[in-house]
Structure 1
Amino acid sequence: MAEEQQPSQPRREIVTGVPRGARRRPPAHTPARSEISEQTTLGATYVRALMRTQLRSALAALAGLAALMGLLPLAFLLPRSASGALVWVALGLVVYPVMWLVARWYVTRAERNEADFTGLVTDPSDPPGPPTPT
């Protein structure tokens, strides 16, 4: 007896494609970087906000230094016998470290402002690194 031939089943094939997470979708909005480079009203608003935060940080640092320098002459109002050593201690040991701390705070704050701005402006789907020229 001849064996019955069963109808051949279709061969299974695996179809592969780009994983869903790796697909590049167009951004839902225009990236802020293009708004800035095209000098639109929104781009000007972004830049103005960065400048405002940088100015606020600079004015806070200036106010701290002005308060420090404004209070320094009070050391000269003390009686002459106590003021000699106190003035040198104030000038040599207090003023410069405080000025250094205020300057360090300002630089850190300015870098944080710029990093926040960069995070706002860059498109999350762009790879990290320097921007590519267009």
Structure 2
Amino acid sequence: MTKHTGPPGQPDQPQPAERDAWLPVSTSAASRKNRRRRVVLADPRGRGRVLRTIIELEEQTSVGEKLIRDLIRTQLRTGLALGGGTLLLLASLPVAFYLLPSLAEVQLLGVRLPWLLLGLLPFPLCYGVGYAYRRLAEKHEHDFVSSVDR
């Protein structure tokens, strides 16, 4: 290295001869050009279609609106099926106890069956239905994202 010639606090700048000292003597501009390599980090095929779909979603074109509408319709169908089924099951219990009075007289552990089914059953049932709906909603969203990324 040469003497420090720059402003205080600045590192020494090597001279051109020192800077290229590590290169072999026979290097020329042509041989340096041949050493360049192209690095491909991703496959460019299919990227245009994904980008076009994302643009359609962001700009809310008719295709993007249809994709979103289909996702919402799928989520709604799943919610109505699970929620409606749960509601139907829970609403049918009092009707069953009304129509079958002998069923209402059954006791388990000293507690009548209607109290057990109507007092305790809804809580784990609603938790399980909520868990199942969340899993199905995440699956539908994952399917939507993967269909957009294709």
TM-score of the two chains, using structure 2 as the length reference: 0.61
Contact 2:71/2:141 (CA < 8 Å) preserved in 1?
yes
Unaligned runs of 5+ in 2: 1-30
- Equivalent residue runs for 1:91-110 within 5 Å: 91-110=118-137
Counterpart code for 1:119: S
1:66 is aligned to: 87
CA distance in 1, matches of 2:132, 2:121: 17
Structure with larger RCO (C-alpha < 8 A, sep 6+)? 1
Question: How many residue pairs are counted as aligned between the two chains?
Answer: 112
CA distance in 2, matches of 1:81, 1:65: 24
Matched, 1:52 2:79: no
Counterpart code for 1:39: Q
TM-score of the two chains, using structure 1 as the length reference: 0.67
1:120 is aligned to: 147
Q: Which has the larger radius of gyration?
A: 2
Counterpart code for 1:42: V
Cα distance change, pair 53–92 in 1 and its aligned pair in 2 (3 A): same
Counterpart code for 2:44: R
Counterpart code for 2:126: M
Unaligned runs of 5+ in 1: 1-12, 125-134
Q: Describe the superposition over 1:17-60 as per-residue Cα deviations: whole angstroms up to 9, x where unpaired.
A: 2334x256372424322111112111111111101111111111
Matched, 1:90 2:117: yes
1:18 is aligned to: 38
User: Identity of paired residues, percent?
Assistant: 30
Superposition RMSD on alpha carbons, in Å? Answer: 2.8
